[in-house]
Each structure stands twice: as structure tokens, then as C-alpha cells.
Amino acid sequence: MNPTSDTPAKPLHKNELLKAESNFLRGTIAHDLADTSSGTIPEDTNQLMKFHGVYAQDDRDLRNQLRKEGKEKAFSFMARIRATGGVCTPAQWLALDALADSHANGTIKITNRQSFQFHGVLKGNLKPAIKEINRVLLNTIAACGDINRNVMCNPNPLQSGLHAEVIKVAEAITQRLLPRTRTYHELFLDGELVAGGEPEEEPIYGKTYLPRKFKIVVAVPPHNDVDIWAHDLGYIAISDDSGKLIGFNVTVGGGMGMAHNQIETFPRLADVLGFCRVDQAVDVAEKVVMVQRDFGDRTDRKHARFKYTIADRGLAWFRKELEGRLGYELGTPRRFEFTDTGDRYGWVEGSNGTSHYTLFIENGRVKDTPEYPMKSAIREIAKVHRGDFRLTPNQHLMIAGVTAAERPRIEQLLQAHRLDAANGASALRLNSMACVALPTCGLALAESERYLPELVTLLETEMEAAGLRDDAIVIRMTGCPNGCGRPYLAEIAMVGRAPGKYNVYLGAAFDGSRLNTLYKPSVPADQLVPLLKPMFRQYAAERQPGERFGDFTIRAGYVKPTGTPADFHEKKEAPAPAAKPVAAS
């Protein structure tokens, strides 16, 4: 059944052949990495390297100049390090901190899927860096590629006990869905055995793995910081009156990515499918993945995500297919409520006698600047911290599990390095998120991580003037429509259209349960503030008690709630495939 026999008319995408013939993701990687005549690797090898957590990139700031000089591009690699639920130890942090300086561009990027990224890793540094990452018991296995990615999990500090239970489930899902091939160890760890000698087969994936990437999250209500509706498969933790975890509502078929003006591509909110017990959760994940393995579209990578399998075939079909494989029916979904998608900054008391400090890190970029030596400061904290760190799904950092005895020392370090001041930013900034984009992302059409902070500064002036400094509005920017910053779930989103131009989207729900709608295409960067300023004024003057900005933009008629895929695109005349109605919860 793998690849699916349902799509015989169209030829398989070339990546399917590449995977099939790669001998479990080996291809010519060993040869190409050893080749010192180029700073990069051939494209086919790049496709396979993604499964090992590595992307070939080049510094796009230097492209034009180097082209003019007739020189090779400034090639380097991005390495993504998985950490289930974003949990890592201080020792691991210290190792990554040192590696960022010795083997990468001196920064650590906290991603919005609770992973780490290194940028600017030169070819000769790649293998030593990956070895060191593994030495501290982290890895880059399947951090990218057509396979299950890092499993996200809410790091809710208020319910430390529940968090301890759900993270175990997230880790069990991770382990079940890891690739079984020894290729990674062979290529990067000189064949060293890290996990034992499994046979060379892929019982879950088969030798062509999945049609496309696959993303799983675990949410703990009332917080929807993992943006559950944006992911292929989601689990909403359900606890009993005593706070004990009893199971999960299962969600399927969410996704963000689309392409400008390709109406057959669209963001989609996940659907609630049913309820499973804690002991069923891993099996459910495995079988969901296997259905997508067999029925996902392997002919067209723009139509290969699980959301299209669900949108095309319907939830009833999927339920039948899944339950047939599980051998039991899912239960009726339990009641739950989400209130927000953001992080709780500062100190929060846990339920187990420890406390947690969430530190705002703008767009997840941990670096030292003369004004704000954040990377060095976190290093000092890591040297003394006895608990753990948790990366948040909003690209921030939680210093977690701080005991009463330890807390004064951590507080002193936060103050001494002015880290606590970062959390005093405006509510708009604290709820902002940008994807990486330029200069490393090869797909970026416009700036994002480097531009959003500047734009927020300008918008803050307008918000302040309108009396909205402390009003949280979820604002997100991406350099292209692929949706890495989950922009279609932001109350205000700017999606890169061309250099210096953005499509502006409005109207998503504050709790992440409603997608936004295209308001204005191709807005020049210098027109973004004039565009939003009158809306802020009107919102301040006319909002109803408790009304969120996203809801207001709909009530005030700026946009209508998203109904069809056409609402995301500039051209609306093309026939639209059936879309999921708004709001899954």
C-alpha cells in the first residue's frame, strides 16, 4: 500500500523515487559530505539530509555581491535539534551554547516547535557538531523531512503534575515514531550504537516514509500555546476533578502552509475526531501516521500534507479507516476550553512546590548584543540552575522547576543581567512572533525575524497613543506564505509577498480557534502602520467589553470570518475546494 494505489494516474513525485532508492536515507550523503570541493551538497542529497535534521542554505545577504564577483555562494547548513516538549537540562543548554560559538553563527534559535536551530554551520563543522549534540543526549534525527517531527507539549507551569504526565505521553509518541534505520548513527556518529541494534526496516513508515512532513502536539487546556488547530495530529489533555490525566481529545488535519495565488493550497484548522485513553494515545498516533502513509498524495508535494487527505476524503472516511486499524472506536470528545495561545511571562508558582520563570526572547533568537548580552546571561543561569529549561511554542524560554532555595540566586542573575526587563515589553511585543526568513531561509520572499521587532516599535507608538499599551493582540509575520510563524492564526498577520511587501491578514481568534482572512495584498512595509493605526483608534473607541482585536475587525467589517480557501488568496474567481467551516472548538 505504500505508496498509495489510489493515485495511479499521476506519476509519483521524484522525491518518492529518491527515498525509495536511498537505502533508508543514505543516498550519497557520506560521499557528498566528504567532498571538500564545494561548501554545499547536491539537491538530492539535501532532500535526504533533511531527514537527519540538516538543511543546506546560503547567506542571502551576500548572494548578489558574490554573484557579481563570480564567487560561490556563502554556503552553510542549518541543523535542527529535537527536544520533545522543548525540555532540556542546563548541561545540555551549556553544550549548545558553546557549540553555537564554536561551530555555528554564535546564536541559538529557539523555534516555535520547541526545538533549537543552529545556523551558519560550515560543512566541515557539521559532523563534529552533530556528534557533540548527541554526546549530550540530544539529536537532530527526523527534525525535518517527510516524517514525524518534534512532538510539542504544553509546558504549563501551573499544573506541574499534569505536565509531568503529558510529557511522558509526548515522549512515548516520539519514541514510537522515530525512524528505525541506523543511517543517522552510521553517517554522523561513525556507526556508534546509541539505542541498540534494531533491524534495518521501517515497520511504521516503509522505505518511502511519509508523503510529507507530519506534526504532532499535546495541549493542556486552558492554554493553546501549541496552536493545536495548526497541526496534523493533536491531543488535548483531559483531566478528572482531581487533576489526574484521564485521556485526550484527538484532533486531526490542521496545517498552515499555502502558496500565494494557488487556491488549491490553503491553511486548515484541525477537526476534533474523538477521545482516547492515555494508554491508547501512542497507538492512535501510529495508526494515524499509517493512514497518511497509505493515502496521502505522493504525486504532488503541494497537496501531500495530511490536511488535504482529510479535506478530500472527509472525516467520516478517516474515522472508519483509523478505527479499522485500531480495532476499537474512539470515544466521544470531552469538554474543554482554551483561553489563549500566548506564554505567561515571569514567575509562576508550580503545583509541586517549585516555580518557573518564563523569559521573553524576541522571535526566539538567543544572542549577545552590546546592549543586551542575553546569551551570556542565560549561560550564567544554566551554570547554577538545578531544574530544567523548557522551550515554549512561542519561541521563549522557561527556567523551570526552580526550588525555593534556588530562587533567590536565579532572581539575582535575572536582575544583574537585565533579563527581567525584557518581560516588561508592551503586550503587543510579548504576543508577537516571526519566522526566521532572511538571510538564511531559501524560501523567504521578504524579511521577517529582522523586521518585525522594528515594525512592532512603530506600532507600539500608535497603540500607546490609542491607550492600548497593555492590550494583548496576537501579531505574527512570515517571510513567505509557508506559514512557519503560524500567521493564519494571528489577529494581525503580515505574510511576505515580495521584498518589502506583505499580504495583511486580520480576524483570527485570540484563542487560536479561528483562522484569519486576507485584508489587503502586497502592502508596502512603510504603509503597514498607516493601515493599522485607524483600526487601533477605532478598536480603542468602539470595542465592546472584553472584545478581542480579531473579533473586532470582523464586527467592524474589515474582514469576514474565513469561509473558503479563497479567503486566503488574492484571486477569488477560481473554483474553491470545499473548506472546513470556521472554528473547530
Q: Which residues are catalytic?
A: 80, 149, 213, 215, 435, 441, 480, 484
> Does residue 476 interact with ligand SRM by CB under 6 A?
no
Would you tell me the crossing angle of helices 528-542 and 452-465 to the nearest 10 degrees? 40
> Does residue 484 interact with ligand SRM by CB under 6 A?
yes
User: Which span sits near ligand SRM by CB under 6 A: 40-48, 480-488, 526-534, 567-575?
Assistant: 480-488
> Does residue 436 interact with ligand SF4 by CB under 6 A?
yes
Query: Taking a C-beta distance cutoff of 8 angstroms, is the pair 57, 34 a contact?
Result: no
C-alpha cell at 43: 539537491
Q: Which does 480 bind (CB under 5 to 8 A by kind): ligand SRM, ligand SF4, none?
A: ligand SF4
Q: Which does 440 bind (CB under 5 to 8 A by kind): ligand SF4, ligand SRM, none?
A: ligand SRM
Task: List C-alpha distances in Å: 145 to 209, 213, 229, 360.
Answer: 9, 6, 21, 29
Of the candidates 392, 18, 15, 51, which has an alpha carbon nearest to the alpha carbon of residue 213? 51
> Does residue 139 interact with ligand SRM by CB under 6 A?
no
> Does residue 562 interact with ligand SRM by CB under 6 A?
no
User: Which span sits near ligand SF4 by CB under 6 A: 156-164, 265-273, 432-440, 546-554?
Assistant: 432-440
For cell 487601533, what's the residue? 536
* Residues paired with residue 398 on neighbouring β-strands, in sequence order: 358, 390
User: Which span sits near ligand SRM by CB under 6 A: 18-26, 331-339, 367-375, 432-440?
Assistant: 432-440
**Full strand arrangement of the beta sheet holding 233-239:** 152-153, 216-219, 233-239, 245-252, 271-277
> Does residue 170 interact with ligand SF4 by CB under 6 A?
no
> Does residue 483 interact with ligand SRM by CB under 6 A?
yes
C-alpha cell at 520: 489587503
Q: Quick check: helix, strand or coil at residue 151?
A: coil
* Interface pattern 388-427 for ligand SF4 (x via CB under 6 A): ----------------------------------------
**Between residues 260 and 385, which has the closer beta carbon with respect to ligand SF4?**
260
> Does residue 441 interact with ligand SRM by CB under 6 A?
yes
CA trace torsion 53, 128, 171, 441 (10° rounding) = -30
Q: Which does 105 bind (CB under 5 to 8 A by kind): ligand SRM, ligand SF4, none?
A: none
* Interface pattern 34-73 for ligand SRM (x via CB under 6 A): ---------------------x-x----------------
- Selected from 88, 435, 455, 518, the binder of ligand SF4 by CB under 6 A is 435
- Selected from 117, 148, 174, 426, the binder of ligand SRM by CB under 6 A is 117
CA angle 167, 168, 171 (to 5 degrees): 85
Query: Taking a C-beta distance cutoff of 8 angstroms, is the pair 157, 400 a contact?
Result: yes
**Between residues 108 and 166, which has the closer beta carbon with respect to ligand SRM?**
108
How far apart are alpha carbons 477 and 493 in whole angstroms? 6
Using the 8-state DSSP alphabet, how is residue 451 labeled?
A: T
* Interface pattern 87-126 for ligand SF4 (x via CB under 6 A): ----------------------------------------
**Between residues 12 and 435, which has the closer beta carbon with respect to ligand SRM?**
435
Q: Using CB under 6 A, which residues numbered 481 to 510 contact ligand SF4?
A: 482-484
How far apart are alpha carbons 321 and 318 in whole angstroms? 5
* Interface pattern 84-113 for ligand SRM (x via CB under 6 A): ---------------------------xxx
Q: Which does 256 bind (CB under 5 to 8 A by kind): ligand SF4, ligand SRM, none?
A: ligand SRM
Number of H helices and number of E strands within the chain? 18, 20
Instruction: Kindly give, in sequence order, each residue whose CB lies less than 8 Å from that of residue 258, ignoring residues fewer than 6 positions away.
Output: 265, 266, 267, 481, 482, 483, 565, 568, 569
Instruction: Kindly give, in sequence order, each residue whose CB lies less than 8 Å from that of residue 503, ignoring residues fewer than 6 positions away.
Output: 260, 481, 494, 495, 497, 518, 520, 521, 522, 523, 570
Q: How many residues does the chain have?
A: 585
> Does residue 379 interact with ligand SRM by CB under 6 A?
no
Cis peptide before 3 (omega within 30 of 0): yes
| Least gap, CB of 487 to ligand SF4 (angstroms) | 8
Q: Using CB under 6 A, which residues numbered 450 to 479 contact ligand SF4?
A: 478-479
> Does residue 1 interact with ligand SF4 by CB under 6 A?
no
Task: List C-alpha distances in Å: 180 to 136, 276, 325.
Answer: 21, 26, 21
**Between residues 215 and 569, which has the closer beta carbon with respect to ligand SRM?**
215
For cell 492515555, what's the residue? 278
# residues near ligand SRM by CB under 6 A: 29
- Selected from 123, 149, 260, 569, the binder of ligand SRM by CB under 6 A is 149
Using the 8-state DSSP alphabet, how is residue 285 labeled?
A: H
Q: Which residues bind ligand SRM (CB under 6 A)?
A: 55, 57, 78, 80, 111-113, 115, 117, 149-150, 215, 230, 255-257, 305, 364, 395, 435-436, 440-443, 482-484, 486
Q: Which residues bind ligand SF4 (CB under 6 A)?
A: 435-437, 441, 443-444, 448, 478-480, 482-484
